[in-house]
Amino acid sequence: MAAEAPFPTPSLPDGLREAILGWYDARGRSLPFRGTTDPYAVLVSEVMAQQTQISRVAPAWSAFMTTFPTISSLAAASPADVLRAWRGMGYNRRALNLWRAARVVVEEHGGRLPEDIATLEHLPGIGPYTARAVAAIAFGSAVGAVDTNVRRVLGRAVGGAIDAYSTRELQRLADAAVPAGRPAEWTHALMDVGATFCRTTRPLCAECPALVWCRYATSGSVEAGPPGARRPASKARFTASSRWLRGRILDRLREAAGHDWVRVDTPVGSHDQAAVDEALRMMSSEGLLELDSIDPRRARLPLA
């Protein structure tokens, strides 16, 4: 049976790359972690940026790097110390995975973050996007890091719609789009265009540097009107979530002196004791805390 012919790689319209890079050079966001190509520092910033607004990442990254300036210092820390340093960022499993990745790098790679994408992806908590972002920004590899922002920008500009390409096709397009000698700037530029103009709903096409070359913007299907305000999440709904409960439990443990045990034996917010007990069990199974073997309502941040 004949092998299936490979599908052609879509390509950027002439001028699009230069327009986006030109805008980025003049008006791209100035962020503290964009001033470094240290692989460890880049990795920390990329892990922090997962599911978190960049405005919160910038000060948190600076504080974290002061506490753990090298990958070896992070690997040598206790998970309790790392979780304390992560306070305010949420999605705390990211902190543990970053710590676990640091230990693997020290134990198996001599303390140097590997350049190879496949090896990066084998580190705890590192997926295809993060591996490629580190490779492009820290090591200058001509690879495209594809997240939701990049999917929107390239999907709309080249294909006319966010879902114009399959995951495989989009990755080939992203890789082919990287300009020679500027993979880091290109990665940042696409992120900024996606976050600033190419929003999921009511994108600011008229102000976007890609306007002239964008198939979506010139298709006549762009939503009219000013960008709609996001409906704020209900505070009551958020405080009723397990994510909120888990965060409050961790905050109680972070406030304990040293590695003292804390008894979590009262309802937390609207969560009754049964919900609290279940959260403690789940967080223990995930390595986010330790439970006393005698009293399962006594907990502390993990020491190892």
Query: What domains can be seen in the chain, in order of their start residue?
Result: 16-213 (1.10.340.30), 235-300 (1.10.10)
Question: What does DSSP assign to residue 53?
Answer: -
Rounded Cα gap, residues 204 and 275, in angstroms: 43
Rounded Cα gap, residues 265 and 295, in angstroms: 10
Digit-coded pLDDT (tens) for 91-101: 999 999 999 99
Q: Which of 18, 46, 108, 115 does the annotation list as catalytic? A: 46
Query: How wide is the angle at C-alpha 126 spanned by C-alphas 124 and 132, nearest 5°?
Result: 150
pLDDT at 8: 67
Rounded Cα gap, residues 138 and 115, in angstroms: 9
Instruction: For residue 263, list its beta bridge partners.
Output: 298
pLDDT at 5: 45
Low-confidence ranges of the chain (pLDDT < 70): 1-8, 221-235
4 is catalytic: no
Rounded Cα gap, residues 196 and 55, in angstroms: 13
pLDDT at 10: 74
Place of tokens 């495209």: 144
pLDDT at 234: 65
pLDDT at 225: 44
Contacts of 302 (CB under 8 A, 6+ apart): 78, 79, 80, 83, 287, 288, 289, 290
CB under 8 Å, gap of 24 or more: what pairs does 274-283 form? 275/242, 275/245, 276/245, 276/249, 279/242, 279/245, 279/246, 279/249, 280/249, 282/246, 283/246, 283/249, 283/250
